[in-house]
Every structure is written in C-alpha cells, then in structure tokens.
Structure 1
C-alpha cells in the first residue's frame, strides 16, 4: 500500500475517507470540469475581486469557467496545482503538522499561509481554518475572512466548494463544482 503525507497524517482515520478520496490521496490524480465562480456585492464584492486577483481566480461571472486540478505528493508535501480556464494558475502546497484529528495542514499559496484542521463527515473532507501565519507572525482565525471548504464524492464525481465571507459584508469570493477524475499522477 502506497503511503503518502495524507495517509500518514490521517493514520487509522484515513479509512474514514470515501474510497475515491483515499485513492486520490494515495496515487494523485487530475480532476477537471466546469466550475461556478462568484464574488459578493458592494464592498464584499470589491474585496472578493481583489482576493481573486491575488489567487489568480478569474472573476468574469458572465461566462462558464473550467478547472483542472493536479494533485500529487512530493518531499513530504501534498501539492495542488489548480488551473482555471487553461490559463489562470493557483498552486498550493500543504505541509502536515501533527496528526489527525488534532493536527492541521499548513497551506502555502501566497504570502499568508493558512492553518487548516480537517473534519471527516460521511467520507468527505471538510477544512476548518484555525489561523494563519506570515513568516513567524501567527494570526488567529477571528482576524481572517471566514472560509468554508470541502471535498466529497457525489455520484462518483469529486464535489468541492470553497467560499470566503466577512461578517456584515457577506460573501467575498466562492468557487465550486463537480469534477471528473482523470489519470493518476506519479
């Protein structure tokens, strides 16, 4: 059985993930399909569009978008390379800290790294942001936009959702879709 940063971090809890998520996180893979991208209204939308530019997420809501995600393991890290519309690239690396269920992942995607715990619900993987860090400076979760993110399997497809909100301002940015699995990545 192939061990990866994800299977090692989860330990016995890895078996709680849906078998297709287990396979994806043992062998890597490419996921692709249509996505919906939204930004909020008013000030929340303005902040959401700025956030989208920093993450290289397209914000043209007048047309359909596609997403391809390449997932693989290297050097003890989980890598996610997202590509929107065959042009906009948003890579992340996830470094494990501790072990599930009390440990977390450190997602490096920009100048600020997110600290993300994981809940497993009905075989799905649900992220819970517990803070962020910029270099040695640690930021508590209450200073950050609220995020809601998950990945789960629905009807054999990889269903995901990522959204960011702020109190009073509401939704800033959200993207979600249902992706088909492609080839494994070694």
Structure 2
C-alpha cells in the first residue's frame, strides 16, 4: 500500500506517534473530524492585518470545529471550519519537507516526533510562491499534534517580530466520518 503523505515524510518514526495522531494522518481519501477549539488573536494592529491577509480565523472560545481531509498519497487538502468560519490549506511534499499553502504564504515545515507529539517547525517561507522570506522571522510559528484521553489534540502558534502574536489556537478532534 502506498504510504500517506505524513507516513512518507516521517518514515519509521510515524509508528511511534500516539494512536489518535497516527489515525488522523493515516487517512486515505476523504474523512471528517470534529471537535472544539479556542482561538486567541494578537492585539498588535500589524499582527491583526497579517492574520487577516493569511485568512486566519477570528478569536473565539470553545468553538465547534470540523476538519475535512481530502488525502492523496502526494498531497492533502484540509478544509477547516471554526464555527462557520472556513480556513483551507493545501499540503504536499518537497524532499523531506512538508509544504503548506495558506493564503498568500507557502510554508516549508520540518516534521519531527518528540515527547509523544508531532512537531511542525518552519524551515522556509515564500510570499506569493516566489518571494523568499527569512525563516528566522518565523521561529515562533509551530504546530504540535498529540493525544489526550484518546482524542487527537492540536496546538498552533504564530507570532512574528514587530507583529507579536498573530494567532494561537488549540483544541481536539475525533473522527466522525473516517475514510
């Protein structure tokens, strides 16, 4: 069987992930997960503008959250819904990096497994797909995926120099329509 996008990127370390994280990244075809999230947005006006340009969701507490995954071996599309506010991204592989296109930005992430969690760390960013931005500007942008009480959990942080925090969101998901 052809490995999924995340299986191919992580290799053997994929199988050391908690079961809920493995299950989510073992999706083939289409699947929907649902749960709850809390979203915090920064207060800096420049940070708010950057968050708006990136089409990040508004601040909300304990909001109904759903993610529909359209997973192919070479790419995935994630359709997120935070209480009626959509956010979509496309992911694919470039060498050993996971590439996520979100709004006008194209992130390259290095993935690693540590302390029973999957971590995404920025290795490069391009604006509009062509203009490289210094990766050091994105040192405070990361994602942590884990498991708590049998549920898939996520935590995303995005903060930039001069802008401060753009967004922090975290929550949990469970399969409602597995592939």
TM-score (norm 1): 0.81
Q: Is the 8 A contact 2:89 2:101 kept in 1?
A: yes
Q: Report matched runs for 1:24-63 at 5 Å.
A: 24-28=24-28, 29-41=31-43, 43=44, 46-61=45-60
Matched residue of 2:177: which SS?
Answer: coil
Q: Do the aligned partners of residues 124 and 64 (structure 1) sit closer, same or farther apart at CA in structure 2, a change above 3 Å counting?
A: closer
Task: Return the match for 2:132 from 121, 133, 138.
Answer: 138
Higher strand fraction: Structure 1 or Structure 2?
2
Q: CA deviation at 1:54?
A: 3.0
Show structure 2 runs of 5+ residues with no match.
none
Question: Can you list the C-alpha shifts for 1:51-98, whole angstroms capped at 9, x where unaligned?
Answer: 33334444254x54221111231261022111111x221111111122
Q: CA deviation at 1:2?
A: 5.7
Show structure 1 runs of 5+ residues with no match.
none
CA distance in 2, matches of 1:64, 1:18: 24
Matched residue of 2:3: which SS?
Answer: coil
CA distance in 2, matches of 1:47, 1:175: 19
Question: Can you list the C-alpha shifts for 1:105-163, whole angstroms capped at 9, x where unaligned?
Answer: 11012211001111211332111011102333322212347213111111111111111
Superposition RMSD on alpha carbons, in Å? 2.3
TM-score (norm 2): 0.84
**Count of residue correspondences:** 176
